[in-house]
């Protein structure tokens, strides 16, 4: 029994202990859930506070931006108002100035009117006095006064003009003669006459046959390659090389001399020697141009111009060597520019380049003036150099002392006795052809070739030809001359249309 009671008590105690444990365990579990819920609530609260702070910051930034935009617009409005106020004030000031100016102008006009009236009164009084004294009418007295005033003024003006014209003419002639005398006496040039043929000496007449070659192959190759005429005649020991182009003729002469020395004469060897001599002449012309620039102290200059300057040694005009003429013009121009207070170096350079286009006219054709201007512009030469090239043949007026000196020096060099030569028959025939072309055109009354055949003046009937037709006629005649006449340089065509109206008072 006791054991049962003890077991029951023990069981009851166990149940109670188990109940207490379960209760405590359930209580602990719910406290853990409560803690987690509180932690999550705290996190949500913190996050809500951060979002609220961010929203407040953004709202504040927007308020600041809106405030700045508002202030900017307010500033613009204020600026516009200020500008409007300033413009209004300026306009008012201008209105006041204009009113003052108009008032002064009216005052001056009134003063002028008063003076004019006073002058008229004085003239009227003078005329009345003359009318009373000389017993003439008012109109006659007025005409007499005006006539005397006009005669006196015209006589005084004419006397002054004549005086200064005579002084200017005398002083100009004296100064020009002094400058020309100084230039010509301080420069002494040499004249080298150029021929149309070169003689090549041969060791024996057997070489003539070798130069001709089998069936003429060698001489045909030489003439075709060198661009010259080779004349093999009965003259013993020599052959003739003929060409108007001095450069080609010099190259051909050198090629034939080397072939004769070598002894091997055939088409292949001719081409080989020709290439060698051509390269030798290119180097030689550059060296000669370089030496000229060194002597004159005109470096730097573009390589192409230097080479063309040396090549002018092999160019002639009317028998005058182009390089000799160029050096003569350059040195004369330098002396003249120095006498007139110009730039000596610039005048020397302009004189040296004034005919540079002649080095290419035989290859390219056309006017040496146009070619020279294009070359100098291409290589950046001084504007006075380009103006000298254009002015020395009348394409432009000289715009500087240096250009004028080059023009005068060119005339001196070309016109001095013995400088140039030309066959008289050829010259007369060319002049006659030019005049005949001009006279063959309708409405042409007279035609004169002047300036050594370089210019033709054509008189036309002004009643039958207009100014525009005269321009077309000059171009037509120039084109026909260019097609039909052989001439050096260029020919200037002037068509002159003059209308004279004559009436008779009876």
Clarify whether residues 440 and 410 are in a common domain: no
Within a domain: 84:
no
* Whole-angstrom distance, CA of residue 277 vs CA of residue 269: 12
Q: Which residue has the tokens 């005397």?
A: 148
pLDDT of 188 above 50: no
Least confident residue range of 178-182, 301-305, 425-429, 442-446: 178-182
Q: What is the CATH number of the domain that holds 483?
A: 3.30.70.1350
Q: Which two tokens stand for residue 282?
A: 């290119």
**Do 455 and 318 share a structural domain?**
no
pTM, rounded to two decimals: 0.47
Please check whether residue 146 lies inside any domain of the structure.
Answer: no
Say if strands 492-498 and 455-461 run parallel, antiparallel, or are unpaired: parallel
C-alpha span between 492 and 478 (Å, rounded): 8
Give yes or no: residues 397 and 429 share one domain. no
**Which of 370, 397, 415 marks a domain boundary?**
415
Number of domains in the chain: 2
pLDDT band (50, 70, 90) for residue 477: very high
Q: pLDDT for 75-119, tens place per residue? A: 888 888 788 787 777 767 766 776 776 777 777 777 777 777 776
Of 7-16, 127-136, 325-334, 483-492, least confident by mean pLDDT is 127-136
Dihedral angle at the C-alpha atoms of 347, 352, 354, 357, nearest 10 degrees?
-160
Q: Cα–Cα distance between 80 and 85 in angstroms, integer?
A: 8
Can you list the positions of beta strands (E) in 341-443?
none
Print the domain residue range for 429: 424-498
Is 150 part of any domain?
A: no
Segment 25-62, tens digit of pLDDT: 655 555 666 677 777 777 887 887 888 888 888 888 88
- Measured between alpha carbons, how far is 155 from 108 in angstroms, rounded to an integer? 34
* CATH number of the domain enclosing 227: 3.30.1370.10
DSSP, collapsed to helix, strand or coil, labels residue 132 as helix
Task: Choose the final residue of a domain: 391, 415, 439.
Answer: 415
Together in a domain, 267 and 409: yes
pLDDT digits (tens, 9 = 90+) for 372-394: 888 888 888 888 888 988 888 87
Average pLDDT over residues 323-342: 84
Residues 121-173 pLDDT 10s: 777 777 677 666 655 666 666 666 666 666 555 555 555 655 666 666 666 66
Percent of the chain with pLDDT over 90: 2
> How high does pLDDT run on average in the chain?
77
């Amino acid at each position: 029994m006791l054991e049962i009671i003890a077991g029951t008590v023990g069981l009851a105690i166990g149940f109670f202990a188990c109940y207490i444990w379960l209760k405590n365990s359930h209580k602990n579990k719910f406290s853990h859930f409560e803690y987690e819920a509180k932690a999550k609530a705290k996190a949500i609260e913190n996050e809500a506070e951060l979002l609220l702070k961010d929203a407040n910051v953004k709202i504040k930034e927007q308020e600041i931006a809106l405030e700045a935009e508002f202030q900017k617009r307010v500033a613009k409005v204020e600026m516009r108002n200020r500008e409007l106020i300033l413009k209004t004030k300026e306009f008012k000031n201008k209105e006041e100035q204009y009113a003052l100016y108009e008032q002064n102008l009216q005052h001056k006009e009134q003063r002028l009117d008063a003076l004019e009236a006073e002058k008229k009164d004085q003239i009227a009084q003078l005329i009345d006095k003359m009318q009373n004294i000389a017993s003439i009418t008012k109109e006659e007295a007025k005409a007499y006064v005006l006539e005397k005033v006009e005669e006196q003024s015209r006589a005084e003006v004419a006397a002054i003009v004549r005086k200064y014209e005579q002084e200017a003419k005398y002083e100009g002639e004296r100064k020009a003669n002094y400058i020309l005398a100084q230039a010509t006496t301080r420069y002494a040039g040499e004249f080298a006459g150029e021929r149309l043929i070169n003689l090549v000496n041969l060791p024996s007449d057997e070489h003539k046959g070798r130069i001709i070659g089998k069936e003429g192959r060698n001489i045909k190759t030489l003439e075709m390659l060198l661009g010259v005429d080779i004349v093999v005649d009965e003259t013993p020991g020599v052959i003739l090389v003929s060409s108007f182009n001095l450069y080609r003729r010099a190259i051909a002469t050198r090629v034939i001399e080397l072939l004769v020395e070598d002894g091997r004469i055939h088409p292949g060897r001719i081409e080989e020697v020709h290439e060698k001599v051509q390269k030798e002449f290119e180097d030689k012309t550059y060296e000669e141009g370089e030496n000229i620039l060194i002597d004159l102290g005109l470096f730097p200059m573009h390589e192409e111009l230097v080479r063309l300057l040396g090549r002018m040694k092999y160019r002639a005009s009317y028998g005058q060597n182009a390089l000799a003429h160029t050096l003569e013009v350059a040195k004369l121009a330098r002396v003249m520019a120095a006498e007139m207070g110009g730039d000596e170096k610039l005048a020397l350079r302009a004189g040296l380049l004034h005919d540079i286009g002649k080095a290419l006219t035989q290859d390219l054709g056309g006017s040496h003036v146009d070619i020279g201007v294009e070359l100098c512009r291409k290589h950046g030469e001084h504007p006075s150099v380009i103006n000298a090239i254009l002015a020395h043949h009348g394409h432009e007026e000289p715009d500087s002392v240096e250009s004028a000196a080059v023009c005068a020096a060119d005339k001196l060099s070309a016109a001095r006795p013995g400088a140039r030569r030309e066959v008289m028959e050829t010259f007369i025939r060319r002049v006659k052809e030019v005049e005949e072309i001009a006279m063959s055109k309708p409405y042409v009354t007279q035609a004169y070739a002047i300036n050594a055949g370089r210019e033709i003046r054509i008189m036309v009937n002004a009643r039958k030809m207009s100014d525009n037709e005269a321009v077309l006629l000059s171009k037509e005649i120039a084109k026909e001359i260019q097609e039909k006449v052989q001439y050096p340089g260029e020919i200037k065509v002037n068509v002159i249309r003059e209308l004279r109206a004559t009436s008779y008072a009876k």
